[in-house]
Amino acid sequence: MTTDAQSAVVTDGFHLVIEALKLNGIDTIFGLPGIPITDFARKAQAEGLRVISFRHEQNAGNAAAIAGYLTQKPGICLTVSAPGFLNGLTALTNATTNCFPMILISGSSEREIVDLQQGDYEEMDQLAIAKPLCKAAFRVLHAEDIGVGIARAIRAAVSGRPGGVYLDLPAKLFAQTMDAEAGKRSLIRVVDPAPKQIPGSEAVKRAVDLLKGAKKPLIVLGKGAAYAQADADIRSFIEKTGIPYLPMSMAKGLLPDTHEQCVSAARSFVLPEADVVMLVGARLNWLLSHGKGKTWGGRTHKDWGGQKFIQIDISPQEADSNVRIDAPLVGDVGSCVSALLAAISTSAGSTWAKPPTEWLAAIAERKNKNVAKMAETLAKNPMPMNFHSALNVVRDIVKANPEAILVNEGANALDFTRSIVDMYRPRKRLDVGTWGIMGIGMGFSVAAAVVSGQPVIAIEGDSAFGFSGMEVETICRYNLPVCVVVFNNNGVYGGTDVNPAGGTDVAPTVFVKGARYDKLMEAFGGVGVHATTPVELRNAMEQALRSRKPTLVNAVIDETAGTESGRITSLNPQSVKKK
C-alpha cells in the first residue's frame, strides 16, 4: 500500500495480484524473474509468498504443474514475456495434457504496440498463442479486474478436468494504481473451486450390474484416481470387491504395489483376458493401446477385444473416445467411488461375491512366474552395472523410505524403473506422464521437495537429465533433499552407435563417453558421487537420504544395456532394410 500526493491510500497492480493469490491460499510461486516481472517477484517474496526461482522457465513450469498435481491447488509459474512465456508454454501444455492444475502468469509487452506490430521489446501476442494450447486463457488490463482474473484462472485450472491456464499480465498493469479500499473489495476468494460432481444413480447401478456379472473383472487405476485423493475409499472398494487392479504408472502406490490384488506383474495376461474392465481416472489412450488391438486380445491392431468397459471420469467427453464405454460414470473419483461403495453394500450386503477363483488363480500363477523371473534377473551382478542391478538397489531404497517421492524419466531408465521399483504410498511416483515427455526431471524434483518437505529420488536417464540438468544449482540454492541418480550409459538409448558416414562427428545418439555428471552437483556445493557398482550406488543413496543433502550419483551403466526407444520401439519408424 502506498500513499499518493493527496494522502489517499492507494494500492497497485503488484499488490493486488499478490493479495489475490494469497487470498486463495496460494503460498508458492515457481518462476524466473526478468522484465517485466522482476519487481513482482521481489514484492511477492517481501509479502510472504515463497518464490522459487529457476534457471529456465520450462523447469519452473513443470514444477508448478506437479505442485498442482500434488496439492490440488493450481501451481503458479511466473515468466517474462515472449521467449520466457514460450519456454513456460511447453510445461503449461503438458500440464493440460496430463490434467494437472497450473496457472502460467506471464508479463507481456504493451498491448497498443503489440497489436499494431510496431516492434516492442519482446513483442508477442501471447494470449492468442496460449489459447489453443491450454484449458483457458485470460488477460487483465485494469487493476480493478485483477481479482476477477485470478478467480477465473483458479476456477478454470482446478474445476472439472484440471488443466493449465494462461494469465496474461501486461507490464503496465503492475504499476496501475487504484483506491486501496476499492482494490481490496475487488478481490475474490473463490468458494468451492473444484465442486464435487456426483454421478447419477442410474449410472452407478449400470456400473455395479456390469461388475456383478463379470467373470474376469479388472480395475485400472490412473493418475486421475491418484490426483483425487480418495485413497481410503479406493482401497476399500478394491478390497471389498476383491477385484484385481492394475495401476498406471503414476497410480503406482495408490495401494502398495505389493498388495496381493495388484496385477502389474501380469499386465500382458490380464488385459486380453478380462471381460469387464473398470477404468478409474485413466484414459484409453496410447498408454493402454487405445483399448484395442493385440494387447486387449483383438485379432488386428484396430480390432476390439470384446471387453465391456466401465469408465469413471470427471470429463463426460472421455467416454467412447477409443472404444465403446458400456457404463460411463461421470463425476469426480471420490464421489463415484463412494457411490459405488454404497451401492455394493446395499445391493449385496457384506456378501459381495468375490471374482471367480479360476480368474484369481490364473492371474496369481502368471504373476508368481513373472515375479520369480524378475527376482532372478535382479540378483545378477554384472560388471559394468546394468539397469537391473542398479534398480535392484533403488528398489530396496524406496522400500526402506516409502515417504520419499520418486521422479523418473528417460527411455530405458523410465521403463525399467516403472516395472522394477515398487511404490508403497499414493502420489509418490512422478514421471513423464501422458506425452512421455523428457525434461520434467529437475522441475518435478524441486517442486516435490518444496511442497511435500519429503526427500526426493530422481532416477534419470543421462539423456533425459540433460533437458533440466542446470537446475541442480536450484536444488543446491534451496538446499533441497533431492538425490539425483543419473543412469549414465553414454547416450540416448545407449552409447554404442557409430557414425555411418565414418566422419569425425560421433553418432547423433552418442554423448561424451565417461562423462562425470556428479561434478555438476559438486560445482554448486552439493554432494557428487561416481558409482560403478551396486554397493557404491547403495551407499551413496543411503547417505543422501540420511543427510538430506543435494546429491547427484553418476551411476555408470553398461552402454550396451539399453534398447532403442525403450519399450516404445514400435512408435519409431524404421526404414526398410535393404537386402
For ligand ADP, the binding residues (CB under 6 A) are 98-99, 161-162, 222-224, 227-228, 248, 250-251, 281-283, 285, 287, 313-315, 318, 332-333, 434
Nearest to 88 by CA among 111, 42, 56: 56
Cβ proximity to ligand ADP, 313 vs 462, nearer residue: 313
The minimum distance between CB 452 and ligand ADP, in angstroms, equals 19
Is the Cα dihedral 272, 276, 280, 286 positive or negative? positive
Sheet with 456-461, strands from edge to edge, namely 429-431, 405-409, 456-461, 482-488, 551-556, 527-531
Cβ proximity to ligand ADP, 76 vs 330, nearer residue: 330
Q: Phi-psi bin for 288: left (phi > 0), alpha (psi -120 to 50), beta?
A: alpha
Is the Cα dihedral 313, 317, 322, 326 positive or negative? positive
The minimum distance between CB 475 and ligand ADP, in angstroms, equals 27
The minimum distance between CB 232 and ligand ADP, in angstroms, equals 15
Cβ proximity to ligand ADP, 278 vs 314, nearer residue: 314
Cell numbers that stand for 454 in this block: 519429503
Report the C-alpha gap between 287 and 246 in whole angstroms. Answer: 13
The 10 Å CB-count burial string (b at 16+, else e) for 34-68 is bebbeebbebbeeeebebbbbbbbbbbbbbbbbbb
Cβ proximity to ligand ADP, 88 vs 224, nearer residue: 224
Cβ proximity to ligand ADP, 169 vs 279, nearer residue: 279
Cβ proximity to ligand ADP, 196 vs 513, nearer residue: 196
The minimum distance between CB 285 and ligand ADP, in angstroms, equals 6
> Could you tell me if 308 and 210 are in contact, meaning their C-beta atoms sit under 8 angstroms apart?
yes
**SS3 string of 194-232?**
CCCCCCCHHHHHHHHHHHHCCCCEEEEECHHHHHCCCHH
Nearest to 492 by CA among 412, 421, 432, 379: 412
Cβ proximity to ligand ADP, 160 vs 242, nearer residue: 160
Cell numbers that stand for 148 in this block: 476477477
**SS3 string of 549-566?**
CCEEEEEEECCCCCCCCH
Burial (Cβ within 10 Å: 0-12, 13-18, ≥19) of residue 346: exposed
**SS3 string of 142-161?**
CHHHHHHHHHHHHHHHHCCC
**Which strand (E) or helix (H) includes residue 277?**
strand 276-280
Burial (Cβ within 10 Å: 0-12, 13-18, ≥19) of residue 179: middle
Cβ proximity to ligand ADP, 34 vs 436, nearer residue: 436
The per-residue DSSP string of 282-326 comes to ---SGGGGGGBSGGGT-SSTT-B---EEEEEES-GGGTTSSS--S
Cβ proximity to ligand ADP, 146 vs 423, nearer residue: 423
Cβ proximity to ligand ADP, 149 vs 224, nearer residue: 224
The minimum distance between CB 206 and ligand ADP, in angstroms, equals 17
The minimum distance between CB 160 and ligand ADP, in angstroms, equals 8
Cβ proximity to ligand ADP, 162 vs 566, nearer residue: 162
The minimum distance between CB 260 and ligand ADP, in angstroms, equals 22
Cβ proximity to ligand ADP, 161 vs 530, nearer residue: 161
Report the C-alpha gap between 404 and 454 in whole angstroms. Answer: 6
Report the C-alpha gap between 407 and 414 in whole angstroms. Answer: 10
Cβ proximity to ligand ADP, 314 vs 457, nearer residue: 314
The minimum distance between CB 332 and ligand ADP, in angstroms, equals 4
The per-residue DSSP string of 429-491 comes to EEESTTTT-SS-HHHHHHHHHHHH-S-EEEEEEHHHHHHHGGGHHHHHHTT--EEEEEEE-SB
The minimum distance between CB 324 and ligand ADP, in angstroms, equals 17
Cβ proximity to ligand ADP, 259 vs 283, nearer residue: 283
The minimum distance between CB 95 and ligand ADP, in angstroms, equals 11
The minimum distance between CB 393 and ligand ADP, in angstroms, equals 26
Closest-approach residue to ligand ADP (CB): 224
486, β-bridge pairs: 460, 554
The minimum distance between CB 279 and ligand ADP, in angstroms, equals 8
The minimum distance between CB 533 and ligand ADP, in angstroms, equals 35
> Could you tell me if 226 and 426 are in contact, meaning their C-beta atoms sit under 8 angstroms apart?
yes
Burial (Cβ within 10 Å: 0-12, 13-18, ≥19) of residue 13: buried
Cβ proximity to ligand ADP, 316 vs 514, nearer residue: 316
Report the C-alpha gap between 163 and 165 in whole angstroms. Answer: 7
The minimum distance between CB 430 and ligand ADP, in angstroms, equals 12
Q: Determine how many CB atoms are found less than 10 A away from the CB of residue 231.
A: 17
The minimum distance between CB 431 and ligand ADP, in angstroms, equals 10
